[in-house]
Chains A and B, each alone.
Chain A
């Protein structure tokens, strides 16, 4: 017989019981075969207490003691239903996780849809080694919880398993469900402390006016000096009889700032990445046009948020053979 593990939905499976489903795209609806329930420590203790009460009832042949024992036992049975129900049919999803710098906490935007009219109380959310947080899900609404997770390693990581659990209403039983999303997040290298950019940008006029790539715009007017291009004369002012003025553009400066891996031979890999990250940030803030040269790859000159992300992503993934890595696994050499 084949030793294939039984992965049919609805069938009990130990691996699934312990670890949950494999990575899946969201949203995940916690259906019957995804929610498990077992007594808590209190539940077991309470069960023992009920047993003692039953023995007492038998021994004293006491009808009301019987009745009490039976009522509390039934309460336990009903509590199973209610605890289970408190988690059943919650729909959970994780939206896009914005990249963060290594060492910062990332915020995973978890979205919980309480598909039911009534409020669900005290639902615990946890990315296992982190501490759980407890939330109430208002009825017929979506609840957005930003789950904070520490980052330790640059690179592309798969989001860990999200565990939802609850012991409401009696705390005697704990229902839980796992949600493993096929969702990755990017951790940029940690930016180094301040180091000046490798090149001091030089100012020079750019003759091809409308082809200017500088990110700054018109800066000032100054008096015409012989030799200035006529294209930059502000003719409207001339027309008003106020003399010749030249439009000066601050943006036309240092258009080619290359951030080069090879410029930092003295540092080790991570320190180099860290330094380059700092430079990318600074070049972006200063609104330079910059490019990135890494061994084996090169990002052409550019600017703007998308370009910045591209550079930082290249730095984050540097040295990674495959774009995918497991949960919180090391990427770099």
Chain B
């Protein structure tokens, strides 16, 4: 456990050298990755979403592809196409950018729903089916999607069912003044990125990932978890309660968080830490619409649930 903690701490420190002042977000992203979930980053352009994804890929030693989502993006542009080869007389599959270990799906809400669902199905299944043929995706497979705030013009907000497929949603926000000053005066980020060396090979990553489900979850903690789910379903503040899948997501995230803290068991604090990021995009207030404004209030309601 402690060696895992040391590894994670090193990773977080390295990443923080490049993405300044965002250690908590980096750790959350790592937790999401360890729990084999996908990450949705929702923020304004230019705050470092892409950099974060890139840094993660680098330090974890993962193969990295970036897909820029636009309104004319076709599913085939993501998944790949089969083209006819005259010389050989048959079709040859040209894999799309999805075939990589870490995908950065940039501005995912700019694409049409059809293109979005191509990506999301791949995320869910861990494989893609093209022209009747199923092709497995590499292992690990981790998608970081970025999204502009939905009220921006010309966007297709992801439907709730799709949002549920992301384990966590985080937003980066503006850097704090100290980090910003360092950013302004310091080296070019892209230069730093180039110099970044992987700290982990994929075997080590797989080992850590398998350790996540083995983190102990006591009955008392399950009680708390159920109280949270129950509260979301029962309370009148939410039009739709948390799904069982949301419950599992919460559990896995908390396990990963506990593991990163070097513990062999989950504490209520772990759940509380990941809670806003796991449930934020899954809750819907009862007064309809405008989920952004009351998301924080809704999460605060959940966070006030007593620990049994």
Measured CB to CB, the residues of A under 8 A from B are 25-27, 93-96, 98, 111, 183, 209-213, 215-218, 232, 236, 240, 247, 249, 251, 304, 306, 309-310, 313
Are B113 and A95 in contact, CB atoms less than 8 angstroms apart? Answer: no
A–B Cβ pairs within 8 angstroms, 26 of them: A25-B236, A26-B236, A27-B234, A93-B234, A93-B236, A94-B236, A95-B233, A95-B236, A96-B236, A96-B238, A96-B240, A111-B234, A183-B236, A209-B70, A210-B72, A210-B154, A211-B153, A212-B154, A216-B112, A217-B114, A218-B72, A249-B72, A304-B157, A306-B290, A309-B288, A309-B289
User: Would you call B234 and A313 a contact (CB within 8 A)?
Assistant: no
Asked if A217 meets B112 with Cβ closer than 8 Å, knowing A25-B236, A93-B234, A210-B70, the reply is yes
Among B83, B84, B286, B289, contact of A310 (Cβ-Cβ < 8 Å): B289
Most buried by B among A27, A95, A240: A95
Taking A249-B72, A306-B288 as known contacts, 15 extra A-B pairs with beta carbons closer than 8 A to each other, sorted by chain A number, are A96-B236, A96-B240, A96-B286, A98-B239, A209-B70, A209-B71, A210-B72, A217-B112, A217-B113, A218-B74, A247-B72, A247-B74, A306-B289, A310-B288, A313-B288
Residue in B closest to A306 when the chains form the complex, CB atoms: B289
The 6 A-B pairs of least Cβ separation, nearest first, read A217-B112, A210-B71, A96-B239, A96-B286, A210-B70, A217-B114
Which residue in chain A gives the minimum CB-CB distance to B68? A210
* A95 / chain B contacts, CB cutoff of 8 Å: 233-234, 236, 241
Q: Does B179 contact A (CB under 8 A)?
A: no
Report Cα–Cα, A93/B233, bound state, in Å: 11
A218 near B114 (CB under 8 angstroms)?
A: yes
B20 within 8 A of A: no
Q: How far, in angstroms, from A280 to B81 measured CA to CA in the complex?
A: 39
Rounded to whole angstroms, the CA-CA distance of A306 and B113 in the bound complex is 16
Q: How far is the CA of A218 from the CA of B77 in the complex (A)?
A: 12
Considering only CB atoms, which chain B residue lies closest to A25 in the complex? B236
Q: How far is the CB of B202 from chain A (nearest CB, A)?
A: 31
Whether, in the assembled complex, B54 has its beta carbon less than 8 Å from a beta carbon of chain A, the answer is no
By size class, the interface of chain B is: 20 to 34
A2 CB to nearest chain B CB (Å) = 34
CB distance from A256 to the nearest CB of B (A): 14
- Closest B residue by C-beta to A303: B156
Distance of A220 Cα from B70 Cα, bound (Å): 17
Within 8 A of A (CB), among B203-232: none
Cα of A217 to Cα of B233 in the assembled complex, Å: 35
Would you list which residues of chain B between 74 and 114 have a CB under 8 Å from chain A?
Answer: 74, 81, 83-84, 110, 112-114
Shortest Cβ distance from A144 into B: residue: B233
Q: Flag if B115 contacts A217 (CB, 8 Å).
A: yes
B39 to chain A, nearest CB (A): 24
* Residue in A closest to B75 when the chains form the complex, CB atoms: A218
Interchain CB contact under 8 A, A212 and B289: no
Write out the residue numbers on chain B whose beta carbons fall within 8 Å of the beta carbon of A213. 154
- Contact residues in B for A306 (Cβ distance below 8 Å): 288-290
- Complex contacts, A111 vs chain B, CB 8 Å: 234
Q: How far is the CB of A237 from chain B (nearest CB, A)?
A: 9
Residues on B with beta carbons closer than 8 Å to the beta carbon of A309 = 288-289
* A182, closest chain B residue (CB): B236
How far does the alpha carbon of A240 sit from the alpha carbon of B87 in the complex, in Å? 13
| B residues 113-153 touching A (CB-CB < 8 Å) | 113-115, 153
CB distance from A193 to the nearest CB of B (A): 27
CB distance from B152 to the nearest CB of A (A): 11
Contact in complex: A211, B71 (CB < 8 Å):
yes
B121 to chain A: closest CB distance in Å?
15
A240 and B83 within 8 A (CB): yes
Tell me the complex Cα distance, A217–B113, Å: 8
Docked complex Cα distance between A217 and B77 (Å): 14
Minimum distance in angstroms from B251 CB to a CB of chain A: 21
Docked CA distance A216–B238 (Å): 31
* Cα separation A209 to B81 with both chains bound (whole Å): 22
B110 touches A210 (CB 8 A): yes
